[in-house]
């Protein structure tokens, strides 16, 4: 099974990145860096709850999966990201076990991490991201 090192981050889909950043700042979170991830069609604002990262995710394109999520369900919890030591190996292992994946090969995430999404149908309805090279996990 994948070697899970911890929770890398929890992601929240938002309709207004500046407003959400301000809101969560007022909730006591520390404001981290902001980055566009072209590959995913999103802009990401990293926030910190102590050492735990909360990712505010905003669509930058109409065809972004985040836009579809917002249209369908509105703002809210979007995915759970698990830190793994080897994203390619973890992904291959799940593919071999016929776990339903959104990405059957790793892609590039924020901060040059390697990521792959597991389909929420395979994980109790929670969209789950595998991340290699995340902050605090040996990158």
| Angstrom distance (rounded) from CA 101 to CA 122 | 8
Among 21, 84, 114, 129, binds Co ion (CB under 5 A): 129
> Among the candidate windows 10-18, 26-34, 82-90, 94-102, which touches Co ion by CB under 5 A?
10-18
| Angstrom distance (rounded) from CA 96 to CA 57 | 30
Question: Quick check: 132 and 87 in contact, CB under 8 A?
Answer: yes
Q: How many binding residues for Co ion (CB under 5 A)?
A: 3
Q: C-alpha angle 129/130/132, rounded to 5°?
A: 135
| Angstrom distance (rounded) from CA 47 to CA 49 | 7
Of 94 and 134, nearer to Co ion (C-beta) is 134
Closest approach, Cβ 77 to Co ion, in A, equals 12
Q: Does 127 bind Co ion (CB under 5 A)?
A: no
> Among the candidate windows 15-23, 35-43, 66-74, 123-131, which touches Co ion by CB under 5 A?
123-131
> Among the candidate windows 27-35, 61-69, 93-101, 124-132, which touches Co ion by CB under 5 A?
124-132
Q: Does 11 bind Co ion (CB under 5 A)?
A: yes
Among 12, 14, 20, 81, binds Co ion (CB under 5 A): 81
What single-letter DSSP state applies at residue 10? E
Provide the CA 41 distance to its chain's centre, in angstroms: 12
Q: Does 54 bind Co ion (CB under 5 A)?
A: no
| Angstrom distance (rounded) from CA 76 to CA 25 | 17
Return residues touching Co ion (CB under 5 A): 11, 81, 129
């Amino acid at each position: 099974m994948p070697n899970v090192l911890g929770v890398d981050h929890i992601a929240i889909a938002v309709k207004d990145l500046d407003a959400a950043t301000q809101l969560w700042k007022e909730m006591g979170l520390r404001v981290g860096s902001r980055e566009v991830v072209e590959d995913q069609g999103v802009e990401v604002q990293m926030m910190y709850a102590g050492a735990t990262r909360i990712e505010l995710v905003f669509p930058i394109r109409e065809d972004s999966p985040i836009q579809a999520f917002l249209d369908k369900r509105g703002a809210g919890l979007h995915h759970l990201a698990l830190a793994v030591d080897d994203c390619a190996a973890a992904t291959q292992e799940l593919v071999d076990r016929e776990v339903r994946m959104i990405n059957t090969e790793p892609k590039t995430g924020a901060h040059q991490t390697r990521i792959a999404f597991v389909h929420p149908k395979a994980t109790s309805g929670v969209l789950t991201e595998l991340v290699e090279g995340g902050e605090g996990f040996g990158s």
